[in-house]
Amino acid sequence: MSTQVEAGKMIFRNTHQHTGRHVSITPGNSSMRHLSYGRIILNPSQNVESFSTGDRETGLICLSGQATIKTDGKETALAQYDSVYVPRDSFVEIAAAGSVDIAEFSADVMNHYPLQVVKFSDVVNDPGLRFSTGGAGSSRQLHMLLAKNVEAGRLVAGFTISEPGNWTSWPPHEHTAMLEEMYVYFKMPAPAFAIQLVYNDTEYPELVTVVRDGDAVLMPGGFHPNVSVPGHRICFLWAMAAHREVEDRQFGVVNIQRGFDQGSSGLEAGQKT
């Protein structure tokens, strides 16, 4: 497959433009083997959505607003940055009194794992789930929403917010053998933008592109650093799917690019202990 075709399956623009539930990325239309991504955007004129998870475990992350989620006979209220893990073979109904924006990630699994709700207030008070990392020019804060705190088969998800003009995913790292990944940019109002790279060889990168609010970049493999323009933060959701169910579901187990591997990855706080 040519580099041009590969790049076309690695970048999806303006994924936050649809009202209702809209799945933008699936293994069928992208470079992902397991991971899918969509958005559920409700408002007073369209305030309810429902769907079945089928053979896919699903993570829902509330980016703004408030919603009530009913599934498996339970009802849960979600506020900003709260998240919920929904098992495969579930029916989900989401309702909102006002406006709400929810990111949806899913991956195929063989096994059934329990319904789990993660309140953001619990994340911010846990130094193993919310931590700062990086140094000069690469300082950022990681928030682990559906990670070691959740029992799941493939999914790992959270978000990163950098200091203005800083790099993230630095030093450059990759985890191709274990996990595929995607970034979804949010909370980056115009004129903010960033530069995303995905490469195995810096001389012949698979992708170098400008990214803005609502864009999604896929990393089936390779190193994937990014950098925001001066004066603006880079903010993105990250979601990963393990290739081997449960066994490969490990955050922070990475290979650092040669030449930048003198120190740590900066992800150690998020690893399982």
Q: Domain residue spans in the chain? A: 3-256
Distances (CA, A) of 114 to 87, 88, 273: 6, 9, 22
pLDDT tens per residue, range 89-141: 999 999 998 999 999 999 999 999 999 999 999 999 999 999 999 999 999 99
pLDDT reported for residue 263: 80
Burial 152-179 (b: 16+ CB within 10 A, else e): bbbbbbbbbbbbeebbbbbbbbbbbebb
| CATH superfamily name and code, 3-256 | Jelly Rolls (2.60.120.10)
Q: What is the pTM of this model?
A: 0.95
pLDDT tens per residue, range 204-243: 999 999 999 999 999 999 999 999 999 999 999 999 999 9
Tokens 């998800």 correspond to: 157
Give the chain's end-to-end CA distance (angstroms, integer).
40
Where does 100-171 have alpha helices with state H? 120-124
Q: Token pair for residue 235?
A: 């903010």
pLDDT reported for residue 1: 31
